[in-house]
Amino acid sequence: MQVTVNGFSMAYSDAGQGTPLLLIHGFPLNRQLWQPQLDGLSDVARVIAPDLRGHGDSQAVPGPYSMDLFADDLNALLDALGIQEKIVLCGLSMGGYVVFAFCRKYAHRLRGLILTATRAAADAPAGRAGRDQMMAMAHEKGVAAISDSMLPKLLAPQTYPARPNQVEQVRSITLDVSLEGVLGDLAALKERPDSTPTLAQIDVPALLLHGADDQIIPLKEAQAMQAGIRGARLAVVDGAGHLPGLENTGIFNEAIKAFERFFGFP
């Protein structure tokens, strides 16, 4: 489905009924990442998964992008869908950085948070330099080079020999992003603020889901967020790297269902 928000056409999937569960993908990904949650959670929630601007089937608008801008797009999506009730917002990696921006701007729309494969801190100087290198690579060699550089890190090390089909599925997802999207993301990632002070302001139930073998954001980042968010629960997803909802769908979806039962989404 497509809807116009903030002057561009945004693609989204929408399945099920009940409390809206809005799923935000990471970099350089799109909503295909969330198919196992659209399939497996739409019996307990209304699962909505958009493609951020520049990604997947959403329009390839030029930058600058920022985490605040992505949060504004999501807020506009909720308005466009006529959703007035409070939502559960779930973000993976860069999507988690968007969740923090959403918390700062639109906390009144939230009834719960799920943060997966993400961190609160801003980029360190070496990380910022890495973003510049990737931007140069994207300009010079295109989106396929970004996909090639990310693919070996996105999944758990053991997944590569064991599940070649899943590796190819993730490759194909990472190729479905525009150059505008990649460049916009990288600048937004580089400039994002430190969200550590936001943790203490979160006053809705929070669930942290992190792959035990995440090669991009280590588990200790989730443990640090758990210490900073009042009452947060942490579920470690075994056999998963940076994409736990795809790599170990059973544990991931069950943890969200348990969160739903405990806090009662409906």
Positions that interact with ligand MLT (CB under 6 A): 26-27, 93-94, 189, 216, 242
- Judge residue 4's burial from the number of C-beta atoms within 10 Å of its C-beta, 0-12 exposed, 13-18 middle, 19 or more buried: exposed
Beta carbon nearer to ligand MLT, 15 or 216: 216
Beta carbon nearer to ligand MLT, 15 or 138: 138
CB of 31 to ligand MLT, least distance (A): 14
Beta carbon nearer to ligand MLT, 59 or 174: 174
CB of 99 to ligand MLT, least distance (A): 12
Beta carbon nearer to ligand MLT, 28 or 112: 28
User: What residues does 223 pair with on adjacent strands?
Assistant: none
CA distance 38 to 79: 21
CB of 33 to ligand MLT, least distance (A): 10
Does residue 58 sit in helix, strand or coil?
Answer: coil
CB of 127 to ligand MLT, least distance (A): 7
What one-character DSSP code corresponds to residue 108?
Answer: G
What one-character DSSP code corresponds to residue 134?
Answer: H
CB of 39 to ligand MLT, least distance (A): 22
Beta carbon nearer to ligand MLT, 94 or 120: 94
Q: Which of 163, 170, 158 is nearest to 214 (CA)?
A: 158
CB of 3 to ligand MLT, least distance (A): 23
Question: C-alpha angle with apex 114: 264 to 42, nearest 5 degrees?
Answer: 60
Beta carbon nearer to ligand MLT, 155 or 232: 155
Beta carbon nearer to ligand MLT, 80 or 175: 175
Strand order in the sheet with 110-116: 2-5, 8-15, 46-50, 20-24, 87-92, 110-116, 206-211, 233-237
Q: Which of 229, 238, 244 is nearest to 112 (CA)?
A: 229
CB of 182 to ligand MLT, least distance (A): 11
Q: Which of 98, 127, 128, 90 is nearest to 27 (CA)?
A: 98
The CA distances from residue 183 to 28, 67, 139, 191, 260, in Å, are 10, 14, 8, 12, 36
Q: Which of 225, 265, 138 is nearest to 189 (CA)?
A: 138
